Amino acid sequence: MARVCGHFGELLQGRIGPGGPVALVTLPCPVLWAEAQVSQWDGFGLLQPGPVVAQARVHRLLRALAVPARGRFRLRLTMPAGGGAGASTAALMALALAAGAVDREAIIAEVLAQEGASDPLLFASPERVLWASRRGAVLACLPALPKFEVLGGFLGPGQRTDPFDHDFPDISDLLADWPGADLAVMARLASQSARRTLALRGPAGDPTEGLARRLGALGFTIAHTGAARGLIFAPGLVPQAAAADLRAAGFSRITRFRCGG
């Protein structure tokens, strides 16, 4: 059995300069994951909760990684497809690991070849790399984040990542202030990244920033392609009624977790 944790959108995402690559700082989420297990069988089959990954793509991935493309594979997920939580990337990586693949760099490269874009989910501390998601490359190593807590959920319809979509705002100024930022600055920078993407790409009327202000959050974060939305708090300072407020605003799958440190 193999499990790969997903993420809860991105703390930062955008172009590095007007013509630069799309890059991101992911927000890892330990309570959202894909889990795969395999039992012996001479054929090949995949049981999964809904159309997360096509069986033919899994078969191609395993063959490319030179691991046996046979057996009965079972896939479980705790995140929705298209939610901006890395469901398909985590699923493919978990299936590859369950099949016996051990070269993590090769897994990352082959998943990128399948998806056209990927998230740095196999890194020990994925939030500590500046990741070029369309290239599958680390652009910079980053220091540890301060400790914080996120309360969020999924808002609106899912949206699968289009690897040919480069229409994101410039975040080079935000990246300049990111390394070593304290929690208040980090939350402000994440909010600015989310705000720019919502202004450029929509949807209009997103309630997340208003909820952050009303609930006393330090800032907010989004899946820059996807439905995940989160409020950033200092650890232990999430208001007791905050989850009910998110549900009332239309959020589903309310999710709470800690990160950083």
Question: For 106-112, which contacts have Cβ atoms below 8 Å and span 24 or more sequence positions?
Answer: 106/65, 107/65, 108/136, 109/136, 110/61, 110/64, 110/65, 111/61, 112/136
Q: What's residue 18's pLDDT?
A: 85
| Residues 118 and 136 sit within 8 Å (Cβ to Cβ) | yes
Q: What's residue 69's pLDDT?
A: 86
Q: What's residue 81's pLDDT?
A: 87
Q: What is the DSSP string of 188-238?
A: HHHHHHHHHHHHHH--TT--HHHHHHHTT-SEEEE-SSSSEEEEEE-TT--
| Residues 151 and 254 sit within 8 Å (Cβ to Cβ) | yes
Domain ranges (residues) in the chain = 2-115, 144-259
pTM of the model: 0.94
Question: What are 149's two structure tokens?
Answer: 């807590």
Architecture of domain 144-259 in this structure: 2-Layer Sandwich (3.30)
Q: What's residue 166's pLDDT?
A: 81
Among 58, 77, 78, residue whose Cα is nearest residue 68: 58
Q: Name the amino acid, one letter, at 20.
A: G
Give residue 98's region: left, alpha or beta (phi > 0; psi -120 to 50).
Answer: alpha
Q: What's residue 19's pLDDT?
A: 87
Name the strand (E) or helix (H) holding 4.
Answer: strand 2-15
Give the CB-side neighbour count of residue 131, counting CA atoms within 13 A: 25
Q: Name the amino acid, one letter, at 61.
A: L
Q: What's residue 216's pLDDT?
A: 98
pLDDT tens, the chain, 261 aa long: 999 999 999 999 999 998 899 999 999 999 999 999 999 888 888 999 888 999 999 999 999 999 988 899 999 999 998 899 999 999 999 999 999 999 999 999 999 998 898 899 999 999 999 999 999 999 999 999 999 999 999 998 777 777 777 889 999 999 999 999 999 999 999 999 999 999 999 899 999 999 999 999 999 999 999 999 999 999 999 999 999 999 999 999 999 999 998
Determine the Cα–Cα distance for residues 220 and 144; give it in Å rounded to an integer.
19
Query: How many other C-beta atoms can be found within 10 angstroms of the C-beta atom of residue 1?
Result: 11
CA dihedral angle for residue 129, residue 132, residue 137, residue 143, rounded to 10 degrees:
-10
How confident is the prediction for the chain on average, in pLDDT? 94
Note the CATH number of domain 2-115.
Answer: 3.30.230.10
| pLDDT tens digits, 29-71 | 999 999 999 998 888 889 998 889 999 999 999 999 999 888 9
Cα distances from 87 to residues 8, 22, 81, 94, in angstroms, run 10, 20, 5, 10
DSSP category for residue 99: H
| Residues 151 and 256 sit within 8 Å (Cβ to Cβ) | yes
